[in-house]
Amino acid sequence: MSDKAIRKIVIVGGGTAGWMTAAPLALKLAKTCEVVLVESAEIGTVGVGEATLPTIRYFNLALGVDEADFVRKTQATFKLGIEFKDWGHVGNRFFHGFGDFGPPIEHRPAHMYWLRMSRTFKDMPSYEQWSMAAMMARSNRFMPQHDELPSITDAYNYAYHFDAGLYAAYLRDYAIARGVKRIEGMIAGVEQHPESGFITALKLRDGRRVEGDLFVDCSGFRGLLIEGVYQAGYDDWSAMLPCNSAQAVPCAKAAQLTPYTTSTARSAGWTWRIPLQHRTGNGHVYCDAFTTDEEAGRVLQDGLDGAALGEPRQLRFTTGRHRKSWIKNCVAIGLSSGFLEPLESTSINIIETAVGWLVQHFPNRDCRPELADEFNRLVAARYQFVRDFIILHYKVTERSDSEFWRYCANMPIPDTLKHQIELFRETGHVTIYDPQGFSASSYFSILMGLGVVPKQDDPLIDAMQFEQLLAHFASRREIITQAVKAMPEHAQYLARHCGAP
């Protein structure tokens, strides 16, 4: 081991981000390096964050986590995507599923063929019928991919809904079993090297000192180190994503355990519904310039499909990101790096990705600024394109029934998103700026779901034999229908394989 190697990593914060950082660092580094996590029960965690993207499976897999054990212990359910209600207009309903609408044909995504044929054949069934994930979700069925399923049905993926507190606890046990030391205490100050400005130690309120070589700031919205010590600066995106408040409350579990999140647009924001095995998570994300907290609370309570389990929790946020996530020997991960509202469940995904990039660019004690620059470039791009994808949901809606929706229709948006919308509206094409981010099928689902229908068809598809295409699509749809019919109900699958005690 080089004498420049990091000998001690200090993680500040024990929320989802803190333990999601501690677990892989413990797995990779605990033999060569001490890993310590400091958290304060007095401050607590944000306590929300229950819906994920399929990448969480690969994160867990890399840790060697057994899926059934994890699902049981976090009261998790499976998630095939998000059902959007009332977003395009009141009464509108569409599904953003994990997966595509079939393999590409001649380098064009399958949805472009559907678009062309639906113009000629007015009785073409909805494109959702070519999405395995949407069809499974619509019939409330679930099972993971397996060898006996026809290969056509491969095109779906899944994520989880889980209890955020239980997930953090699960990873805490994992990390502690691999040598991570947990310190309970309130951080009251920081010591820095007088010349380099590197953080050398945390000072706890009770007088203890926690020294380290690398400090990972997972302190949540307060950004204790990245902002408190280094004043990274904050890009405020609330002009394009005006929601700045949320209320969250769990309710008794519903009769039906849906394998998807529901997002319902409201007059000044939207509400979520996340089914877990033991309860249902609910929340209302809204902009307080267009409604009051009291009214937002009423909307939330009226939408519950079970008895509320406690009082709603009020949260405030400013959408945006800290201009840098890595400064000197401090790396911010989680809410201390930035926040985008949970409309597409992207925060935990950004945590997974950032932890992966930290491992990939793991520094020596000198923390070369080039590594920090590269990490910052990657994180900035990820935030930017997730931001664009979320703005899209608000911007192209046809809703104009409240001041909030009229604001969204008229608000300025980034040029990158403007290009995306115009490209699709005119030609049906989608551009992918971030290959590890949302796919063309995701953009298609949202744009079409919200009512944006391309004006032109692809000339190459125009020149193709429609009979063959029709037969291809008909047989695909039949295979999907039969495969879904043979699957167990989501609740049945859970009870049989990973039901919580």
Between 55-63 and 347-360, two packed helices, what is the crossing angle to 10 degrees? 50
Residue 19's identity, in one-letter code, is W
Q: Read out DSSP for 369-392?
A: HHHHHHHHHHHHHHHHHHHHHHHH
Long-range contacts of 495-500 (CB under 8 A, 24+ apart): 497/68, 498/67, 498/68, 498/69, 498/71, 498/72, 498/76, 499/72, 499/277, 500/71, 500/72, 500/73, 500/75, 500/277, 500/278
> Is 320 an interacting residue with respect to ligand FAD (CB under 6 A)?
no
8-12/214-217 β-pairing: parallel
> Is 48 an interacting residue with respect to ligand FAD (CB under 6 A)?
yes
User: What contacts 321, CB < 8 A, 6 or more positions away?
Assistant: 234, 235, 237, 337, 338, 339, 379, 380, 383
CB of 187 to ligand FAD, least distance (A): 4
> Is 11 an interacting residue with respect to ligand FAD (CB under 6 A)?
no
Q: Of 33-41, 58-66, 233-241, 449-457, which part binds ligand FAD (CB under 6 A)? A: 33-41
> Is 345 an interacting residue with respect to ligand FAD (CB under 6 A)?
yes
Instruction: Give CA separation, 486 vs 77, 113, 136, 448, 496, in Å.
Output: 20, 28, 10, 29, 16
Which residues within the stretch 393-452 sit at the binding site for ligand FAD (CB under 6 A)?
A: none
In sign, the C-alpha dihedral spanning 388, 393, 397, 402 is negative
Residue 437's identity, in one-letter code, is G
CB of 359 to ligand FAD, least distance (A): 18
Q: Of 50-58, 75-83, 360-368, 484-492, which part binds ligand FAD (CB under 6 A)? A: 50-58
Q: Of 40-48, 79-87, 130-138, 462-470, which part binds ligand FAD (CB under 6 A)? A: 40-48
Among 186, 252, 460, 474, interactor with ligand FAD by CB under 6 A? 186
The nearer residue to ligand FAD, 40 or 445, going by C-beta atoms, is 40
> Is 21 an interacting residue with respect to ligand FAD (CB under 6 A)?
no
> Is 187 an interacting residue with respect to ligand FAD (CB under 6 A)?
yes
Which residues within the stretch 281-310 sit at the binding site for ligand FAD (CB under 6 A)?
A: 283
> Is 484 an interacting residue with respect to ligand FAD (CB under 6 A)?
no
> Is 88 an interacting residue with respect to ligand FAD (CB under 6 A)?
no
**How many residues belong to the site for ligand FAD (CB under 6 A)?**
38
Binding residues (CB under 6 A) for ligand FAD: these are 13-18, 38-40, 43-46, 48-52, 164, 186-187, 218-220, 222, 224, 246, 248, 283, 315, 317, 334-336, 342, 345, 347-348
